[in-house]
Structure 1
Amino acid sequence: MADTPESSHKVHDDEDSDSDLKAGGRAGNGRIAVFAILSLLLLAGIITLVLYLVYRPSHPHFTVVSVAIVSLSNSSSPFNTITASVQPTLVIRNPNSRASIRYDRIEMYVMYRNAPVTSPVLLPPLIQDKDTSVAISPVLGGPAVPVSPDVVEGLAVDRSFGVVPLRLIAVGRIRYNPGPFRGRWSSLYVRCNMLVAARTGVSGPVPLLANSDCSVD
């Protein structure tokens, strides 16, 4: 028996309904997949934030606890120079209870009136465990350093009064290792102002006349 127009129209309607159902099913599955991906990303973000808050490291603390003047002299003939050899003792504290710290390529030198008066000294690498302190006493000095006439005259005046403002600078790189993670290397800049009682002709340990906590960037 031949199909009637009504039965042929019904077959087409059934096929269209099946196509619509399949298309709707695919759209629904796509929405579910997108929702699942967004949920996973949100969960990963929350976990990352929690880990960051738990393991977020703090800067190390540097403090100058003593200073010894091995030598400190100025000359204006034939050139304006300063010859200095200084031995500061610094205590470095790692305040982090969940992160160790690694120091590398640390160079340290002394400045007077914004002029370097010692050559940079490269310190050995240092690994500092969690919540610990370590003391270092590098000897910073070397040959005469050329400076301006104002710096030479200023040092002569300050030593006559027995009060010399020095500045200790340390530059290098630092890396935090929080918990099971390993951080990236970042730059380190430490500045310590040291007001010392140093008169002309005096050498050896000298008193610190002010608090010598350091700024750390």
Structure 2
Amino acid sequence: MSKDKHSNDPRRAACTAITIFLLLAGVTLLVLWLVYRPHKPRFTVIGAAIYGLNATTPPLMSTTMQFSVLIKNPNRRVSIYYDRLSAFVSYRNQAITPQVLLPPLHQGKHTAVSVSPVIGGTAVPVSVEVSNGLVVDEAYGVVGLRLIFQGKVRWKAGAIKTAHYGLYVKCDVLMGLKKGLVGPVPLLGVTPCDVDV
């Protein structure tokens, strides 16, 4: 008699139904995540131009640069929104341009877009080591800079949008730059940027 009483217990049946529902929901979420799993974007600097570089008046330095950056969305089912995106240039881990805000960007599924921000124009304070190092590198003809993007990113799959995630991109750029050269400068090798989300 006690066996029949336990097999017809409504609480036990409810617990079994809830357990089966949670397992099915978990499997469904896992399958959806595997199918729509967002991958981080890929950034590559493909061109650079220098329109002004004055490192001879420490502690202030002014420069105007433009970089062409190719951004690829590797996701076949997910689009990407870039919000509050900004960029600046650093040399020896010190900013040599002010931060420039870029317009928001929406990138469709499995597409590539090129952005060409003009960065600089305003003098910024730098250390003597930075201005001296830049003068020496410029005289040598090879300058290594770091282009940095910061912002917020979110993904969209169908009608579902994720929350905002912090985006930090650093692009190490090695350029052939001689003193007095204005306009496009050759890149000495093209390497993909490091992207952290």
Q: TM-score, normalised by structure 2?
A: 0.94
The corresponding residue for 2:35 is 54
The corresponding residue for 1:92 is 71
- Structure 1 unaligned spans of 5+: 1-16
Matched, 1:144 2:123: yes
Alpha-carbon distance, 1:28 to partner: 2.1
2:75 alignment partner, SS class: coil
Alpha-carbon distance, 1:130 to partner: 0.1
Alpha-carbon distance, 1:27 to partner: 5.8
Q: One-letter code of the match for 1:113? A: R
Which structure's residues are more often strand, by fraction? 2
Does the CA contact (< 8 Å) of 1:56 and 1:178 recur in 2?
Answer: no
Q: One-letter code of the match for 1:126? A: L
Question: Which residues of 2 match residues 96-135 of structure 1 at below 5 A?
Answer: 96-135=75-114
List, as ranges, runs of 4+ consecutive aligned residues in structure 1 with deviation greater than 6 Å: none
Matched, 1:213 2:192: yes
Aligned with 1:183 (options 162, 166, 169): 162
Matched, 1:165 2:140: no
Alpha-carbon distance, 1:26 to partner: 8.5
1:96 alignment partner, SS class: coil
2:161 alignment partner, SS class: coil
Alpha-carbon distance, 1:113 to partner: 1.1
Q: Find the aligned partners of 1:35 and 1:143 in 2 and give their Cα distance.
A: 67
Alpha-carbon distance, 1:211 to partner: 2.0
Q: TM-score, normalised by structure 1?
A: 0.86
Q: One-letter code of the match for 2:68? A: T
Provide, for residues 113-154 of structure 1, a one-character-per-residue CA deviation record: whole Å limited to 9, x for no partner: 111011000000000000000001110012211111111110
Which structure's residues are more often helix, by fraction? 1
How much identity, in percent, do the aligned residues show?
A: 46
The corresponding residue for 1:14 is none
Q: Give the stretch that moved more between structures: 57-66 or 141-150.
A: 141-150
Q: Find the aligned partners of 2:92 and 2:60 in 1 and give their Cα distance.
A: 13
Q: Find the aligned partners of 2:158 and 2:72 in 1 and give their Cα distance.
A: 18
Question: Which residues of 2 match residues 57-72 of structure 1 at below 5 A?
Answer: 57-72=38-53
Alpha-carbon distance, 1:179 to partner: 3.0
1:75 alignment partner, SS class: coil
Structure whose CA Rg is larger: 1
Q: What is the alpha-carbon root mean square deviation over aligned residues? A: 1.7
Matched, 1:75 2:56: yes
Q: Give the number of aligned pairs.
A: 196
- Structure 2 unaligned spans of 5+: none
